[in-house]
Amino acid sequence: MKLCSYRIADQERLGVVLDSLDSVLDVAVAARSAGEQLPGTMNGFLQTPEAGQRLERVVQWAHSRPVEELRGQQLLLPMGRLTWLPAVPHPPKILCIGLNYWDHCRETGQQPPQHPVLFAKYTNTLLAHGDAIPLPKTSQQVDYEAELCVVIGQRAKEIPVEHALSVVAGYTICNDLSARDLQFGDGQWTRGKTQDGFFPVGPYLVTADEVGDPQHLSIRLTRNGETMQQSNTSEMIFSVAAIISFLSEGITLEPGDLIATGTPAGVGMSRKPPVFLQDGDEIGIEILGLGRLTNHVRAG
């Protein structure tokens, strides 16, 4: 299933994307009509045991009803009317992995790390699909980074690699924006990675069962229609399962945690000459089966 977070009348909502109808099924309202109980937000859904099974029954019920009935009861909403929110609007943690693609290490001339390189982002960085990426006055070198983002669905601590994927609720797309002049000028990455709006994530959360093996997904980023990054998650140095196991050794993972798994080759700083984001740029990221995350860049 494809799940999304959106806002209607200043209320945060959870929806199921029905591609064939170009619409979203409002989960909480549809659940009541189907005789089920489900939270109306993504974070509530991820924290509720057996919520996935209940939602499957709700979706089956919706498919059995006439489309006109669903629209008339405001259960089915056209996607064009939605105000998108980040796929997971309130993640407990945003954990990120650097230097995790063989091709990215080669382009930057760095040796592959022996262990995952970990840093964190904060909730001030979150943006939704369609939101404008703000260029901060503090930087002249804002760079894009297309990444597969893992959404944790179960509390996990010290989980072995062979069981690590069992705690994944699903996957989404993220852009690990980086102010390179701050990242390297400061001597550590925090300020360069955590400017406001530096973590667009969405448009959907696609459930793990639908994605299957996360290590065979094509990934592509375009800037104003030109392909800048094109690779595959098979290029990862540390797999999704290995990253989850590594993090859980000392960090308890919680439902709703986001894990950005690193970016492939093609980042702006490694190009000759370097390419950094400018006012008016359109950045699109596509990952196989996860849709397309699109954001425009705005100065000020």
Question: Given pLDDT bands bounded at 50, 70 and 90, which one contains residue 155?
Answer: very high
Q: Nearest 5 degrees, angle CA 66-CA 71-CA 74?
A: 130
The confidence score (pLDDT) of residue 9 equals 84
Dist. CA 269–CA 275, nearest whole Å: 6
The confidence score (pLDDT) of residue 266 equals 95
Give the chain's domains with CATH numbers.
Answer: 2-84 (no CATH), 94-299 (3.90.850.10)
From 153, 146, 128, 130, select the one nearest 5 (Cα to Cα): 128
Question: Given pLDDT bands bounded at 50, 70 and 90, which one contains residue 159?
Answer: very high
Per the prediction, the chain carries an average pLDDT of: 95
Proportion of the chain above pLDDT 70, given as a percent: 100
Residue type, 56: E
Would you say 285 and 175 are in contact if contact means Cβ atoms under 8 Å apart? Answer: yes
Q: Collapsing DSSP states into helix, strand and coil, what is residue 189?
A: coil
The confidence score (pLDDT) of residue 18 equals 93
Query: In 176-246, at which residue ranges do the beta strands (DSSP E only) sit?
Result: 178-179, 199-207, 218-223, 226-232
Residue 247 has pLDDT above 80, yes or no: yes
Average pLDDT over residues 207-223: 97
Q: Per residue in 95-129, pLDDT tens?
A: 999 999 988 888 888 888 999 999 999 999 999 99
Q: Nearest 5 degrees, angle CA 289-CA 126-CA 95?
A: 75
The confidence score (pLDDT) of residue 105 equals 85
The confidence score (pLDDT) of residue 300 equals 75
From 88, 241, 244, 243, select the one nearest 157 (Cα to Cα): 244
Q: What is the CA radius of gyration of the chain?
A: 19
pTM of the model: 0.96
Average pLDDT over residues 31-57: 94
The DSSP symbol for 131 reads P
In the chain, how many H helices and how many E strands?
9, 19
